A and B are shown apart, each in its own frame.
Chain A
Amino acid sequence: MNKKKVLVACGSGIATSTIIMDKLEEGLAERGIEVEFEQCKISEAKNYIEDLSIDIIILNGPVNSEYSIPAFSGVSFLTGIGEEELFDKIVAELE
């Protein structure tokens, strides 16, 4: 089976998205799920989704309906609030 592709995006495409990606990588590994990560600026997200056939996107920013794939806010991975629930939702989407 091909690994699913997860896109992580933030304003700069460098800072908070890396923190979110680190958390996700660790948490998904603990749950035995392997994925492929891509990282970009929010402004580039739409192109990434199309060009790289991304399966889900985690954003540090507002989640709106403009994305064609499941989209989640990753802010719980920054604040620690609701982290487990967010993992559950993401895992449900990846399985």
Chain B
Amino acid sequence: MNDLYIDENLIEIDLNLNNKEEIIKKLSNILETAGLVKETYQSAVLKREKEFPTALETESIGFAIPHTDPQYVNKAAVAVARLKNTVNFISMENYEKNIAVKLVFLLAITDPSKQVKVLQKLIKLMQNKEIVNTILRADNQKKLSEILKNNF
């Protein structure tokens, strides 16, 4: 998955924010500053998250994968937040249900067929307890980005 840009500068460790909109804004600002997404990306993601929420829960962890359409994206990338405290995101499956989310992967995808592969990898990763634990224990951005690079 060499064409998905993963970088320590796109990672927040123990981000101390308490609602999902702020988290999405924080991460999309990072992508925008890096020139990876267009100005319109942030509002598009926020809108889509409201319409089609993205939280999932595996046996290992609660996580969310906010994303939007390729037209808002310059270069395929993922910004990641490991949250200090879990924050409620709405479940992909049941819009009445909150999931306590610890990891947020904000996806910027340019090609829908690649998006599928990225999602598939990410979901597999989140089902793997060992890898999830290494992500939760990584002490800094660099380590976390290495774990992701090695597994994508």
Tell me which residues across on chain A come within 8 A of B127, comparing CB atoms.
Answer: 79-80
The tally of residues in B whose CB lies under 8 Å from a CB in A reads 21
The A-contacting residues of B in range 60-80, CB under 8 angstroms, are 67, 69
Instruction: Please indicate the chain B residues that have their CB under 8 angstroms from the CB of A60 in the complex.
Output: 92-93
Residues of B within 8 A of A62 (CB): 93-96
A29 at the interface (CB under 8 A from B): no
What interface size band does chain A fall in?
10 to 19
* Contact between chains at A19 and B92 (CB < 8 Å): no
Q: Does B1 contact A (CB under 8 A)?
A: no
Q: Is the pair A19, B120 in contact by a Cβ cutoff of 8 Å?
A: yes
Bound Cα distance from A75 to B94, whole angstroms = 10
Chain B neighbourhood of A78, CB < 8 A:
56, 92, 123
- Knowing A60-B93, A75-B93 are in contact, say whether A14-B112 is a contact too (CB < 8 A): yes
With A15-B119, A61-B93 already in contact, 14 other A-B pairs whose C-beta atoms are closer than 8 Å: A12-B52, A12-B112, A14-B115, A15-B67, A16-B119, A19-B119, A61-B52, A73-B93, A73-B94, A75-B56, A78-B56, A79-B57, A80-B58, A81-B59
**Lowest 10 CB-CB distances: which A-B pairs, in order?**
A11-B52, A75-B93, A14-B112, A18-B116, A80-B127, A79-B58, A73-B93, A15-B115, A62-B95, A19-B120
